[in-house]
Structure 1
């Protein structure tokens, strides 16, 4: 269509950026862009523009890089050279500090495109870390980013810190990710109209806030898997997840299931201590769900994994005498809570479908019923 002059290059870029925006926020799949002639043309245009010694069109470069990152599905097919060109280009666009609506939108698109990267390449923290720190810390002082842009900035950092504990340490210790994430999730939760059902059409600001909230929840899964160090502030994230879970219970079952899954992951990956799971209300929330007259199979599976992780951790011996005494006190408190709520009877009633759930979700669910009892 471009060759036949039925569609201008400018309009093609606008169309692809809009498609990419919808893909990122609404999980719309774009499976065939990688094999399209337009994809190859965009890659060549980016490389050719980058090789110019003078007169580079930085706006065109940023637009093309956004299209590539927003629309791509198979990131392993992107040449490594392209990351070295596009990441600095988009970071430069994201570093703009003018506080007008047009610039905010440009920055949002650049950060959203960066957050779409899913690569096993070692891009190298020297290519992005200082710039991302500047973007995030400037926002924390001046609030110049949209909620989506701010979330996307963090997502980009979390994705690229996979298997890079030094970057994670910067994110956690220097940039206070847990504190900022919990605060942002709490504010978003207040903006969502939880009384509207998922199938009802939701328009305006509330809908956008809900989409951003979902992206934070998706990002926490990556963080819990990536982060390998104890951190007390992680309990703040868990508390916020519990609050979202309770708010989503009646009308947003998709979000509710995501929260149950995140609680299970936080327990399994050991990013929070068991007593923090207790104090945050996570154990109470999961106990409430498991006692419902009807429980979705997927949620049953997640709950069983949650309590299996709790049980295994409480059965571990601590070498430190004070820590061991604290572990035993936590174990006693959780056991009493479970006994009061009739947890043991519920688990026994589920025992007949352990094998079914294990085969259905095939992630190694234990078939030994005693694994789910903290008193064993």
Structure 2
């Protein structure tokens, strides 16, 4: 998915044009009547769909959100139109996994927090649709740890909305937005199980049987649940044994990869433009990565799953560079987790794969970093002696097997050739690598 210089130049021109057009339309909003304003918001929303990360960061600033807050305050924009605008901002931000903290520190964020509490406290006059709209705007745009009081309102509200079992395309879209908003809650935030567990489990199980959710909605439901698992390991038995997360994730990744490849065979590839399916693949991989980093329920089936990830990397590496890099990250996360056995990594082909990548003449910085980190993890774990005699004997046999495989591929020479590159890697990734070459070797 790399671009030529001509393609880069064209993209820069388009980016500048979109940014200028956005600024022009936004400035005109407060001088329009409500109907004209709605039309301009629709134009703005179409522009937003095409924006990349850099455009988001340059346009969606604290000042912009404060301006929207002021326009609502001065009745230059109706709340309905503001929601139409903000929900679309947030939808595209969350779908593309952009990190943006501007809304979180704005006056608009404070306003929405107060609106959530005020609307929830109403009794017979409570407007459930308005409450859901406010929840979605707030969660889609927010990039901070949300107060427990607000989560106790927003999570049940959106799960109720997302529990619609059937519906037309418009209803499916509403469910998708609700689940995407829930998936945007920061991963380290602890949420009481009583607020979500029964409902999210039913949503996932119903889809597995009836296939009623969109691809993005289903992935978002899983992301919300896996993010809760990070701080609540009691969820793992259900995630693995009842909902079969790893199998589901791998199956979805295989389906989406085949779909993209078939699509590209039929039409000319638009270089550098991520398709909706590619964005969902990236979200699935990132969610799987978080699980592999923290999972404890290792079993032999995981070898098959890791083997599947190795094959998906091979299928993606030439045509989907960013996706291929993310698959390497999946295997790197697996190498960190002490519950993921090194023997399993060897049997799955992960160790061989990294050896192959180390020898590529076109190795880029990110892949170099992943490879170095992977083998540093492997080396450190193999050096740890076991107290159990049988396990210690197995460790020595495994060390010998991996040493011979690395020696056969000239691994030590490859590492030595990268020695001068390690300080650059440390600086680029803000993570300390050992500058002692022998730390990367498996010595017997």
Q: TM-score by structure 1 length? A: 0.89
Q: How do 1:46-125 and structure 2 match up within 5 A? A: 46-73=116-143, 75-76=144-145, 78-118=146-186, 120-125=188-193
Structure-1 residue corresponding to 2:405: 337
Q: CA deviation at 1:208?
A: 1.2
Structure-2 residue corresponding to 1:354: 422
* 1:164 counterpart = 2:232: yes
**Secondary structure in structure 2 of the residue aligned to 1:231:** coil
CA contact (8 A) 2:136 2:177 kept: yes
**Secondary structure in structure 1 of the residue aligned to 2:191:** coil
Q: CA deviation at 1:29?
A: 5.0
Q: CA deviation at 1:359?
A: 4.1
- Count residues in correspondence: 370
Residue from 299, 304, 311 that aligns with 2:367: 299
Q: Equivalents in 2 of 1:201, 1:19: separation in Å? A: 19
CA contact (8 A) 1:267 1:306 kept: yes
Stretches of structure 1 that go unaligned for 5 or more consecutive residues are none
Structure-2 residue corresponding to 1:246: 314
Deviations 1:139-197 (A, max 9, x none): 11111111111111111011122232112232223322112112111112212237877
Structure-1 residue corresponding to 2:441: 373
Structure 1 residues 236 and 133: CA distance shift in structure 2, 3 A: farther
Structure 1 residues 34 and 368: CA distance shift in structure 2, 3 A: closer
Q: Equivalents in 2 of 1:356, 1:116: separation in Å? A: 33
Q: Equivalents in 2 of 1:104, 1:302: separation in Å? A: 38
Q: Equivalents in 1 of 2:376, 2:289: separation in Å? A: 19
Stretches of structure 2 that go unaligned for 5 or more consecutive residues are 1-70
Deviations 1:78-127 (A, max 9, x none): 33210110011011111110143222111111110000001644321221
* 1:174 counterpart = 2:242: yes
**Secondary structure in structure 2 of the residue aligned to 1:67:** helix
* 1:212 counterpart = 2:253: no
Q: How do 1:135-284 and structure 2 match up within 5 A? A: 135-193=203-261, 199-201=271-273, 207-284=275-352
CA contact (8 A) 2:182 2:224 kept: yes
Q: CA deviation at 1:347?
A: 1.6
Structure-1 residue corresponding to 2:40: none
CA contact (8 A) 1:95 1:131 kept: yes
Question: Which protein has the larger Cα radius of gyration, Structure 1 or Structure 2?
Answer: 2
Structure 1 residues 358 and 119: CA distance shift in structure 2, 3 A: closer
Q: Equivalents in 1 of 2:104, 2:249: separation in Å? A: 33
**Secondary structure in structure 2 of the residue aligned to 1:34:** helix
Q: CA deviation at 1:6?
A: 4.5
RMSD over equivalenced CA pairs, Å: 2.4
Structure-2 residue corresponding to 1:286: 354
Q: Equivalents in 2 of 1:300, 1:219: separation in Å? A: 23
Structure-1 residue corresponding to 2:86: 16
Q: Equivalents in 1 of 2:136, 2:377: separation in Å? A: 41
CA contact (8 A) 2:223 2:287 kept: yes
